[in-house]
Structure 1
Amino acid sequence: MTRVSQTFVSIVVAFFMMPFLIHELGDYWYGIWTVVGSLAAAYHLFDMGMASAVTRYVSQSFGLKDDHQANVTINTALLIYSVIALVIVLVSIGASYGARVFIDDPDSKDIIQILVLIIGVSVALEFPFNALAGVASAKLKFHQVALTRIAMTLIGAALTWWFISRGYGIIALAVITFCTARLSNLLYFFICRAAFPALRISRKLASRANAKELFQYSAWSFVIAIAYQMRNNVDNFVVAGFLSAASVTPYAIGLRLVDYVAQFLSQATNMFVPIFTGYHAREDNTELHNKLLFITRLNLVLALIAGGGLVIFGQAFINRWMGPTYTEAYWVMVILLVGRMIGFANHPLNSAMYAANKHSIVAKIDVIEVALNLALSLVLVQYLGLIGVALGTMIPLLLLRLFVLPYFACSSIGLPTVNYYRCMVRPILAVSLPLIGYFAWMKNHVQPDTYSNIAIYGLGMSALTALCALKLGFSKEEKCELRKIIPTRQLKALI
Structure 2
Amino acid sequence: MSTATTLLKGSITRVSQTFISILVAFFMMPFLIHELGDHWYGIWTVVGSLAAAYHLFDMGMASAVTRYVSSAFGKKDNQEANSIINTALVIYVVIALIIILVSIAASYSSRLFFETGSDKDLVQTLVLIIGTSIALEFPFNALAGVANAKLRFHQVALTRIAMTLLGAGLTWWYISQGHGLLALAIITFVTARISNVLYLIICKSAFPGLKFSRKSASWESGRELFQYSAWSFVIAIAYQLRNNVDNFVVAGFLSAASVTHYAVGLRLVDYIAQFLGQATNMFVPIFTGYHAQGNNQELHSKLLFITRINLVLALIAGGGLVIFGQAFISRWMGPDYSDAYWVMVILLVGRMIGFANHPLNSAMYATNKHSIVAKIDIVEVIFNLMLSLILVQYLGLIGVALGTMIPLLLLRLFVLPLFACRAIEMPVKDYYLCMARPLIAICVPLVITFIWVRSSAQVTSYPEIIVSSIVMSFICAAAGMKLAFSPSERTELRKLIPGKKLKYLI
Q: Which region of structure 1 is more displaced relative to structure 2, 278-287 or 156-165?
A: 278-287
Deviation for aligned residue 1:267: 2.2
Q: 1:290 to 1:64 in 2, by over 3 A?
A: closer
Deviation for aligned residue 1:104: 4.7
Match of 1:33 among 20, 31, 44: 44
Match of 1:324 among 329, 335, 342: 335
Distance 1:58 1:272 in 2: 16
Q: Which region of structure 1 is more displaced relative to structure 2, 414-423 or 90-99?
A: 414-423
Q: 1:323-362 counterparts in 2 under 5 A?
A: 323-362=334-373
Counterpart of 1:113?
Answer: 124
Counterpart of 2:4?
Answer: none
Match of 2:161 among 150, 156, 180: 150
Q: What SS does the corresponding residue of 1:414 show, helix, strand or coil?
A: coil
Unmatched tracts of structure 2, length 5 or more: 1-11
Deviation for aligned residue 1:64: 4.6
Distance 2:129 2:316 in 1: 41
Distance 1:321 1:339 in 2: 24
* 1:202-248 deviation digits (Å, cap 9, x = unpaired): 43443233322221221121111111111111111111121111111
Counterpart of 2:484?
Answer: 473
Partner amino acid for 2:177?
A: R
Match of 1:432 among 443, 458, 463: 443
Partner amino acid for 1:382?
A: Q
Partner amino acid for 2:277?
A: S
Counterpart of 1:449?
Answer: 460
Counterpart of 2:174?
Answer: 163
Partner amino acid for 1:391?
A: L
Counterpart of 1:82?
Answer: 93
Counterpart of 1:5?
Answer: 16
Deviation for aligned residue 1:90: 1.1
Match of 1:301 among 297, 312, 321: 312
Counterpart of 2:137?
Answer: 126
Unmatched tracts of structure 1, length 5 or more: none
Counterpart of 1:408?
Answer: 419
Distance 1:308 1:110 in 2: 45
Q: 1:487 to 1:71 in 2, by over 3 A?
A: closer
Deviation for aligned residue 1:119: 0.7
Q: 1:91-106 counterparts in 2 under 5 A?
A: 91-104=102-115
Distance 1:335 1:413 in 2: 31
Distance 2:445 2:14 in 1: 32
Match of 1:24 among 35, 39, 44: 35
Match of 1:135 among 125, 142, 146: 146
Q: 1:178 to 1:434 in 2, by over 3 A?
A: same
Match of 2:253 among 239, 242, 247: 242
Deviation for aligned residue 1:179: 1.4
Counterpart of 2:279?
Answer: 268
Distance 1:394 1:283 in 2: 37
Distance 1:490 1:197 in 2: 41
Distance 1:370 1:214 in 2: 25
Whether contact under 8 Å (2:291, 2:367) holds in the other structure is: yes
Partner amino acid for 2:126?
A: L
Distance 2:261 2:85 in 1: 42
Partner amino acid for 1:337?
A: L
Deviation for aligned residue 1:12: 1.7
% same residue: 74
Match of 1:14 among 11, 25, 47: 25
Partner amino acid for 1:385?
A: G
Q: Which region of structure 1 is more displaced relative to structure 2, 216-225 or 27-36?
A: 216-225
Q: What SS does the corresponding residue of 2:399 show, helix, strand or coil?
A: helix
Q: Which region of structure 1 is more displaced relative to structure 2, 215-224 or 309-318?
A: 215-224
Whether contact under 8 Å (2:329, 2:341) holds in the other structure is: yes
Counterpart of 2:376?
Answer: 365
Distance 1:241 1:103 in 2: 14
Partner amino acid for 1:319?
A: S
Distance 2:71 2:308 in 1: 34
Counterpart of 1:374?
Answer: 385
Distance 2:147 2:286 in 1: 21
Deviation for aligned residue 1:83: 1.4
Whether contact under 8 Å (2:21, 2:161) holds in the other structure is: yes
Give the number of aligned pairs: 495
* 1:388-431 deviation digits (Å, cap 9, x = unpaired): 11101100000001110111122223333233223322322222
Q: 1:427 to 1:193 in 2, by over 3 A?
A: closer
Please, what TM-score do these two structures have when normalized by structure 1?
A: 0.93
Counterpart of 1:179?
Answer: 190
Deviation for aligned residue 1:28: 0.8
Q: 1:378-397 counterparts in 2 under 5 A?
A: 378-397=389-408
Q: Which region of structure 1 is more displaced relative to structure 2, 292-301 or 176-185?
A: 292-301
Q: Which region of structure 1 is more displaced relative to structure 2, 208-217 or 362-371?
A: 208-217
Distance 1:282 1:190 in 2: 33
Partner amino acid for 1:474?
A: F
Q: What SS does the corresponding residue of 1:247 show, helix, strand or coil?
A: helix
Counterpart of 1:56?
Answer: 67
Partner amino acid for 1:414?
A: E
Q: Which region of structure 1 is more displaced relative to structure 2, 282-291 or 336-345?
A: 282-291
Q: 1:338 to 1:378 in 2, by over 3 A?
A: same
Whether contact under 8 Å (2:149, 2:285) holds in the other structure is: no
Distance 1:269 1:484 in 2: 16
Q: 1:394 to 1:87 in 2, by over 3 A?
A: same
Distance 1:175 1:62 in 2: 38
Whether contact under 8 Å (2:70, 2:285) holds in the other structure is: no
Distance 2:182 2:204 in 1: 33
Q: 1:359 to 1:149 in 2, by over 3 A?
A: same
